[in-house]
Amino acid sequence: MRVLVLTSYVPYPPNAGAKIRVSNHMRYLSREHEVVLLCPVRPGSGQAEAARRLVGEYCSAVVPVPWHKRSKIRFLPHLGRYIARGEPIGNLTFYYEELAAALHDLTARRRFDVIDVHHGYMGPYIEHIAPQSRARTVFSLHNVPYVQWWRMMLAERDPLQKLRLFRDWLFQKHATLAYVRRYDRTIVVSERDREILLRDAPQADVVAVPTGMNSDRMAVLPPPEDFRHLMLVGSMYYRPNVDAARFLAREIFPRIRARVPDARLFIIGAHPPRSVRRLGERVAGLTVTGYVDSVRPYYERACLNLVPLRAGSGIRVKILESLAWGRPVVTTTLGCEGLSVRHGEHLIIADGAEEFAAQVVRLMNDRQAWHRLAAGGRRLIEEVYDWRVVGRQLVAAFSTW
């Protein structure tokens, strides 16, 4: 079977949650099927060369499509069409005319059995598959977009911004469900996401395949030298991560410092907005790193990974990564939604600033509980979330119709 994978980025190197999922999708599909990658690249950025490194490893071929920034005038026809059909305007950010044309040309010239389109904002590309193509279409969602927007709206305090998020939620829900019904199959990252989509689109074909970890490549880290260092890691262009960073810095970490005065917190992630960068200037003991070449040194120093999410959807790769490294996690109920975890065995669940801070301080002082969680979390990764287990589920999702 020949599978065409369509993404809005080059999934190499696999240094972020979405890239990790896509690269491992291709890795395991390529063991039984031929995989071709189609993705946009910025001319002169080196992205095309990075994409071609996947040839022979996961892909039989890679088609990097150069794209150029469009003028506002060229945007207008697409904007009008998106508004008319209730499409989220933000999806236009990922609409590349060059990529749409390349998809049409490629599917007209070559036979594909399956076309796998990643992310909700890429849904419109189904319209650019050549009419003569007989390929089945897969919509690979890394979260349920409209659930994410609804939760961001609930967490927002500014009335005007809340109204804008409500508007975006309406558009996201309309478009997401339309594409879930239109694609032959939708793959989501958790049973919870599957339940949500089937509740709203009962006739859709939805399969849950979790994100995994390559635990054979991630040896458990030794315990840190001291238990004063904490971390939060996540891409800061993702709005729920920004909210979590603010919540942690403003409401949780000061409570921790009141009990552990020399505690240090590192907020790690690319593209932090000014509101997050300011936290490093105003909150004692806090450092905002921005992008780092490797998060491993921070895992080595930190005793806990904190994930106080109050919005978002899908599986949090940062939680799985932390458990694989042997670093206990304190998170919220929403933060670990969709994961097969048990409080007190695999991680700690705490909602509300006071409860969250109390659990963090407890683990900073209780080495026995810390070691028990570290072992339990790693065991969960090996038994449930290792890609050797998840990969079989993925291949089945593409092989059984």
Q: Please report which confidence band the pLDDT of residue 149 belongs to, taking 50, 70 and 90 as the band edges.
A: confident
- Is residue 73 pLDDT above 80, yes or no? no
Cα distance between residue 373 and residue 326, in whole Å = 8
Read off the tokens for 56: 């022979």
Phi, psi dihedrals of residue 212, rounded to the nearest 5° = -120, 180
Lowest mean pLDDT among 111-115, 202-206, 279-283: 279-283
pLDDT in tens, 103-131: 999 999 999 999 999 999 999 999 999 99
- Is residue 19 pLDDT above 90, yes or no? no
Instruction: Output the pLDDT for position 251.
Output: 97
Phi, psi dihedrals of residue 290, rounded to the nearest 5° = 70, -155
The two counts, helices (H) then strands (E), for the chain are 15, 13
The residue written with tokens 């990764």 in the block is: 381
> Domains in the chain, start-ordered, CATH in brackets?
2-212+387-399 (3.40.50.2000), 215-385 (3.40.50.2000)
- Four-residue CA torsion sign, 214, 18, 182, 203: positive
Report how far apart, in Å, the C-alpha atoms of 353 and of each of 266, 299, 385 are: 18, 23, 29
Instruction: Output the pLDDT for position 315.
Output: 65
**What is the model's pTM?**
0.85
What is the side-by-side order of every strand in the sheet holding 304-307?
Answer: 286-290, 264-268, 229-233, 304-307, 329-331, 348-349
At residue 50, what is the residue type? A
- Is residue 309 pLDDT above 90, yes or no? yes
Phi, psi dihedrals of residue 267, rounded to the nearest 5° = -100, 115
At residue 369, what is the residue type? A
Which 3 state secondary structure label does DSSP give 260?
Answer: coil
Cα distance between residue 9 and residue 13, in whole Å = 11
Q: Quick one: average pLDDT of 85-102?
A: 85
At residue 28, what is the residue type? Y
- Is residue 247 pLDDT above 90, yes or no? yes
Q: Quick one: average pLDDT of 304-326?
A: 88
Read off the tokens for 49: 């060369």
Residues 40 and 68 sit within 8 Å (Cβ to Cβ) = no
Cα distance between residue 349 and residue 356, in whole Å = 8
Instruction: Output the pLDDT for position 383.
Output: 94
Q: Quick one: average pLDDT of 193-201?
A: 96
Read off the tokens for 31: 């063991």
Q: Please report which confidence band the pLDDT of residue 235 belongs to, taking 50, 70 and 90 as the band edges.
A: confident
Residues 197 and 172 sit within 8 Å (Cβ to Cβ) = no
Read off the tokens for 309: 């999410």
pLDDT in tens, 133-144: 999 999 999 989
DSSP secondary structure string, 138-187? EEE-SS-HHHHHHHHHHH---HHHHHHHHHHHHHHHHHHHHHHHHSSEEE
Report how far apart, in Å, the C-alpha atoms of 301 and of each of 296, 327, 361 are: 9, 10, 17
Nearest to 191 by CA among 339, 346, 342, 349: 339
- Is residue 77 pLDDT above 90, yes or no? no
pLDDT in tens, 340-389: 999 999 999 999 999 999 999 999 999 999 999 999 999 999 999 999 99
Residues 277 and 289 sit within 8 Å (Cβ to Cβ) = no
Mean pLDDT, the chain, integer: 92
Q: Please report which confidence band the pLDDT of residue 191 belongs to, taking 50, 70 and 90 as the band edges.
A: very high
CB count within 10 Å of CB 283 equals 18
Residues 344 and 392 sit within 8 Å (Cβ to Cβ) = no
Phi, psi dihedrals of residue 312, rounded to the nearest 5° = 105, 180
Q: Please report which confidence band the pLDDT of residue 257 belongs to, taking 50, 70 and 90 as the band edges.
A: very high
Cα distance between residue 207 and residue 247, in whole Å = 33
Instruction: Output the pLDDT for position 314.
Output: 62
Lowest mean pLDDT among 30-39, 167-176, 369-378: 167-176
Q: Quick one: average pLDDT of 155-160?
A: 86
Which 3 state secondary structure label does DSSP give 349?
Answer: strand
Cα distance between residue 27 and residue 268, in whole Å = 28
Q: Quick one: average pLDDT of 210-216?
A: 89
Read off the tokens for 201: 């689109």
Residues 210 and 283 sit within 8 Å (Cβ to Cβ) = no
Instruction: Output the pLDDT for position 56.
Output: 87
Q: Please report which confidence band the pLDDT of residue 41 belongs to, taking 50, 70 and 90 as the band edges.
A: very high
Instruction: Output the pLDDT for position 313.
Output: 66
- Is residue 29 pLDDT above 80, yes or no? yes
- Is residue 63 pLDDT above 80, yes or no? yes
The residue written with tokens 């049973």 in the block is: 191
